[in-house]
Each structure stands twice: as C-alpha cells, then as structure tokens.
Amino acid sequence: MIFIGAVMALAAGNYDITAVFASLGMPIISMLVLILATWTTNTGNAYTAGLAAMKVFSFRDELRPKVTLICGALGTLVAIAGLATVLESFISVLSSLVPPIAGIIIADYWIIGKGDPNNWYPVKGINWIGILSWAAGSIVALFFSFFSPALDGIIVCLISYLVLNSLFSKTSLAGGGIMDINEILGLEKGEVI
C-alpha cells in the first residue's frame, strides 16, 4: 500500500489521495474515498458524543439512537460554522504547554528517583522548581522551538528541572517537605487508616 501510494503521489505530484484520484481522471473514486474516509472517522465521533451525552444528561437507553443522531447533526453544524479553525490556535498553545510536564516526570521520577517508587514522594505546598521548569519548557516550546515544539519543551523542562533541583532541592522552592499518607488523605492527626 505504501509503495502504491508513493507511486500515485509521484504521478500526481500531490500526497492527498483525493487530489491524486482527481488528477488521474477519477473524480468519482476521489469523492467516494473522501466520503468513506470521513464517514469511518466521524461515525466513531458521533457514537462517542452520543454516549457522552447519554451519561451527562442521564437519558434513558432507548433514546441513544436519537441522541447520537442529534450529536452528529450538531457536530456537522459546528464543522460547517468553522469552529475547528477557531480552536486551532488553542490546540496549538496546548500542544506547547502540556508536553513539557513529561520532562518534569522523567527528571523527578526516572532520573532523580531512579525509577523506584520508594524514592518518590509528594511534597507539601508548591514545588516551585517544577513550576519554573515547566514555564521554561513551555516558553521554549511556544516561542523558540528549534526542532519539534513538544520535544523541545520536554528536553528544556527536563534539563532545567535537574539543574534547579540540584541547586535548590533543600530550599522552600522544592516545596514544604515530604507529605505523609495521612496528610494526603486529609486525615486528622492521630487517626489511622
């Protein structure tokens, strides 16, 4: 399939399969491919939206086909209205802000804690080292990316967490100390689990 797709793309000068079929003089097949591709993707989207709406609004199960149809129709109207283009910038920002968190996890758990659950513990208060590292990784991912924004953010965040942790791990920037299980569960002093 990959070889045939590559040959077709070279012949048509385009990677879009519908444009390839159209340029090869097969517009009906092109339209059929487009409809089937979007159909297979969006039936799952409509079904999932229908299930979510059923759960959120506590509808009776016999209403599921109608609720799914309404969700599919609403999704189509939202797509026609162009909501996806409005959300592109929001999703782009999220794609730069969320991945750097993985850098903190890798640095704290896998490098500092050596992947041993006994070496990891929650801290009281706010771990400002993590917040500052996340901010550095996010800024690089948003404005100064040199390879892939997500990967750049993770790498910068990981390195900055390791550096800041080595400098400030014994200060209040690393949080207010180790939290024990009773504090995590919100139990009063003296209560036992």
What are the residue ranges of helices labelled H in 13-99? Answer: 17-23, 27-57, 64-81, 83-97
Cβ atoms of 160 and 140 within 8 Å: the answer is no
Query: What is the DSSP secondary structure assignment for residue 15, as one 8-state letter?
Result: S
Q: Where are the beta strands (DSSP E) in 72-139?
A: none
Residue 192, pLDDT above cutoff 70: no
Hunting for tokens 């045939």 — which residue is that?
A: 4
| 153 token code pair | 């953010």
Q: Give the pLDDT confidence of 132-153 residue by residue, as tens digits.
A: 999 999 999 999 888 889 999 9
What pLDDT shows up at residue 193? 52
CB under 8 Å to 168, separation ≥6 — which residues? Answer: 129, 174
Q: Give the pLDDT confidence of 19-59 residue by residue, as tens digits.
A: 877 877 888 988 898 888 888 888 888 999 999 999 999 99
Q: What is the mean pLDDT of residues 66-89?
A: 88
Q: How confident is the model at residue 188 (pLDDT cuts 50, 70, 90)?
A: low
Residue 5, pLDDT above cutoff 80: no
Residue 191, pLDDT above cutoff 70: no
Classify residue 56 by burial, with Cβ atoms within 10 Å: 0-12, 13-18, 19+. Answer: exposed
Q: In whole angstroms, what is the distance from residue 31 CA to residue 35 CA?
A: 6
Q: Give the pLDDT confidence of 79-119 residue by residue, as tens digits.
A: 888 887 888 888 888 989 999 999 999 999 999 989 898 88
Q: How confident is the model at residue 162 (pLDDT cuts 50, 70, 90)?
A: very high
Q: In whole angstroms, what is the distance from residue 107 CA to residue 132 CA?
A: 14
Classify residue 62 by burial, with Cβ atoms within 10 Å: 0-12, 13-18, 19+. Answer: exposed
Sign of CA dihedral 18, 21, 24, 26: negative
Domain residue ranges of the chain, discontinuous segments joined by +: 2-81, 95-185
pTM value?
A: 0.61
What pLDDT shows up at residue 89? 84
Q: How many CB atoms lie within 10 A of CB 92?
A: 12
What pLDDT shows up at residue 190? 54
Q: In whole angstroms, what is the distance from residue 95 CA to residue 77 CA?
A: 26
Residue 4, pLDDT above cutoff 70: yes
What pLDDT shows up at residue 120? 84
Cβ atoms of 164 and 129 within 8 Å: the answer is yes
Distances (CA, A) of 62 to 7, 68, 105: 49, 11, 44
Q: How confident is the model at residue 185 (pLDDT cuts 50, 70, 90)?
A: confident
